[in-house]
């Protein structure tokens, strides 16, 4: 039996104030850390994307895009008949112009007009590299754009006045205006000489006005009804030429500005060359043979003859295929060419990933580890993305390529970014939390 406790025995049950259990407190500063993450993320993203915009036309960006394009071409070359960057073979480049092209690159980089080297000096130096050819093409586009801007400015600054005080003043103005229009039509080109870039109506009206202007200035001017009508006719022709050439130059300037905004290294994808590709390969082989200094005259003649026979046979086959309406894939093969522009480098998405890493509250070494390990992984995924798009472009039409480019792979790449960030969180930030002892 057990003893019955007396009334004076204290109750072993703790008082009510001690029975209540307190709920776990929220992490101190949790809300503040969330706000700091958002602020740091937004500020870092803004700074990185702004820097990206400022660097989009720099040499550093060109190097990066060229590297991206080179890695993409190398990956595609593993599964295609041929994939090459900028040009397939040195025989496709201008023959004997490497020194002149290098001089133009140096001059354009320094902001001056390129010199015209003597003919015997233009072929000096080693063959051009793909990087040099890409540099020359890009700088030439910038130079052409600046040239068009200057021509537009000169044309705009010479509008047609309403009246003249005397015939001499009128003739002087017509002569000056004709010179401005002529300069807008005949453009100087690197290496010397000029090239006609003009609207045909502008050329026709300018030539008519120039012929009459030379005739009227070849002898002392006498003002009469005939000479007055001749001045008016010259004025009308120059006005028509001015308007047509200004419209043409403005259109060309807009095209060049859009082209520069979307310019970058060119990746040529050849899944299958077709008959046309076989002809091009034979022609390239012929060009290599004819310019190979190591071959003797007899060997060069023999190989050139064999290649010429091969080219004629392929051309006959091509003609037969066209008569029989053979599929395009048989004649031209499956080819695609795309440009690696700054947006193709995935720098904006990598910037968002870096901002998310830096904004999250973690030790600095963990943040650095996330950047050092995550960026190369995202770069590799981007190369795989561009390679897949190259294959899609070779196999399907433009509509399918655009949909895959702008929608499918954009979404897939964003998913990869989130996955890499979550992996960093799991492997570095939260590592060991599950195995740490819990408070009783």
Average pLDDT, the chain: 84
Tell whether 154 and 255 lie within a shared domain. yes
Confidence tier at 29 by pLDDT (50, 70, 90):
low
pLDDT the model gives residue 152 = 92
Asked if residue 386 and residue 326 are part of one domain, the reply reads no
Question: Between the CA of residue 2 and those of 6, 23, 267, what are the distances in Å?
Answer: 12, 39, 96
Q: Quick one: which H or E segment has residue 359?
A: helix 347-359
What are the Cα distances from residue 367, in Å, to 36, 50, 355, 378, 383? 16, 22, 10, 16, 24
Pairwise CA distance, residues 18 & 405, whole Å: 66
pLDDT tens-place string over residues 74-90: 999 999 988 999 988 87
Same-domain status, 163 and 219: yes
Q: What is the pLDDT of residues 115-142, one digit of tens each?
A: 888 888 888 888 899 999 999 999 998 8
Do residue 249 and residue 295 come from a single domain? no
pTM of the model as a whole = 0.77
* Full residue range of the structural domain in which residue 381 is found: 32-73+338-429
Residue 293 lies in a domain: yes
**Residues 303 and 360 occupy one common structural domain:** no
Q: 225-256: per-residue pLDDT in tens?
A: 777 888 888 889 999 999 999 999 999 999 98
Residues 418, 395 share a domain: yes
Same domain, 64 and 156: no
Residue at a domain's end among 300, 332, 364: 332
Last residue within a domain, chosen from 284, 309, 332? 332
86 domain-assigned = no
pLDDT for the residue 198: 85
The pairing of strands 186-188 and 194-196 is: antiparallel
Of 348, 345, 268, which is closest to residue 61 (Cα–Cα)? 345
159 and 251 share one domain: yes
Answer yes or no: do 375 and 283 share one domain: no
Beta bridge partners of 85: 267
**Residues 252, 173 share a domain:** yes
| 256 and 154 co-located in one domain | yes
* Residue 197 belongs to some domain of the structure: yes
Alpha carbon of 98 to those of 121, 132, 320, 411: distances in Å? 9, 10, 40, 44
Phi, psi of 271 (to 5 degrees): -70, -45
Number of domains within the chain: 3
Which of 143-152, 155-164, 266-275 is predicted least confidently? 155-164
377 in a structural domain: yes
In this structure, the answer to whether residues 209 and 289 fall within a common structural domain is: no
Task: Give the count of alpha carbons within 13 A of 257, CB side only.
Answer: 9
Provide the pLDDT for residue 192: 66
User: For residue 372, which phi and psi values (nearest 5 degrees)?
Assistant: -65, -35
Q: Three-state DSSP class for 268?
A: strand
Q: Is residue 437 part of a domain?
A: no
Q: If DSSP codes are grouped into helix, strand and coil, which group holds residue 17? A: helix
Whether 379 maps to a domain, the answer reads yes
Last residue of a domain, one of 317, 332, 347: 332
Confidence of residue 191 (pLDDT cuts 50, 70, 90): low
pLDDT digit string (tens) for 303-325?
A: 888 888 888 988 888 888 888 88
Q: What are the tens digits of pLDDT across the range 341-367?
A: 988 999 999 999 999 999 888 888 999
Residue 13, in any domain of the structure? no
Identify whether 390 is part of a domain. Answer: yes
């Amino acid at each position: 039996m057990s003893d019955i406790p007396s009334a004076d025995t204290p109750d072993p049950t703790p008082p009510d104030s001690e029975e209540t259990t307190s709920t776990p407190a929220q992490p101190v500063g949790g809300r503040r850390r969330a706000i700091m993450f958002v602020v740091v993320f937004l500020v870092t993203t803004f700074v990185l994307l702004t820097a990206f915009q400022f660097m989009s036309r720099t040499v550093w960006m060109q190097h990066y895009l060229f590297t991206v394009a080179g890695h993409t071409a190398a990956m595609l070359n593993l599964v295609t008949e041929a994939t090459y960057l900028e040009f397939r073979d040195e025989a496709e480049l201008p023959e004997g112009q490497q020194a002149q092209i290098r001089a133009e690159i140096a001059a354009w980089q320094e902001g001056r007009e390129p010199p015209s080297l003597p003919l015997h000096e233009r072929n000096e130096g080693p063959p051009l590299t793909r990087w040099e050819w890409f540099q020359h093409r890009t700088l030439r586009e910038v130079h052409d754009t600046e040239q068009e801007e200057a021509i537009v400015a000169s044309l705009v600054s010479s509008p047609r006045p309403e009246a003249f005080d005397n015939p001499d003043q009128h003739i002087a103005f017509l002569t000056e205006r004709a010179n401005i229009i002529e300069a807008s039509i005949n453009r100087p080109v690197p290496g010397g000489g000029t090239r006609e870039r003009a609207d045909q109506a502008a050329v026709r009206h300018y030539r008519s006005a120039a012929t009459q202007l030379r005739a009227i200035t070849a002898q002392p001017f006498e003002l009469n009804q005939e000479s007055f009508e001749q001045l008016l006719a010259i004025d009308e022709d120059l006005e028509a030429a001015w308007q047509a050439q200004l419209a043409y130059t403005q259109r060309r300037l807009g095209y060049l500005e859009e082209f520069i905004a979307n310019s970058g290294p060119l990746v040529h994808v050849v899944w299958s060359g077709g008959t046309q590709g076989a002809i091009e390969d034979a022609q390239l082989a012929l060009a290599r043979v004819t310019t190979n200094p190591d071959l003797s005259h007899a060997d060069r003649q023999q190989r050139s003859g064999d290649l010429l026979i091969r080219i004629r046979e392929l051309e006959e086959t091509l003609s037969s295929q066209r008569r029989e309406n053979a599929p395009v894939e048989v004649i031209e093969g499956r080819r695609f060419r795309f440009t690696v522009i700054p947006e193709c480098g995935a720098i904006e998405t990598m910037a968002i990933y870096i901002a998310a890493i830096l904004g999250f509250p973690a030790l600095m070494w963990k943040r650095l580890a996330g950047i050092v390990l995550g960026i190369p992984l995202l770069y590799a995924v981007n190369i795989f993305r561009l390679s897949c798009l190259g294959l899609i472009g070779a196999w399907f039409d433009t509509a399918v390529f655009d949909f895959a480019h702008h929608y499918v792979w954009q979404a897939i790449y964003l998913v990869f970014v989130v996955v890499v960030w979550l992996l960093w969180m799991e492997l570095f930030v939260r590592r060991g939390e599950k195995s740490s002892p819990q408070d009783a």
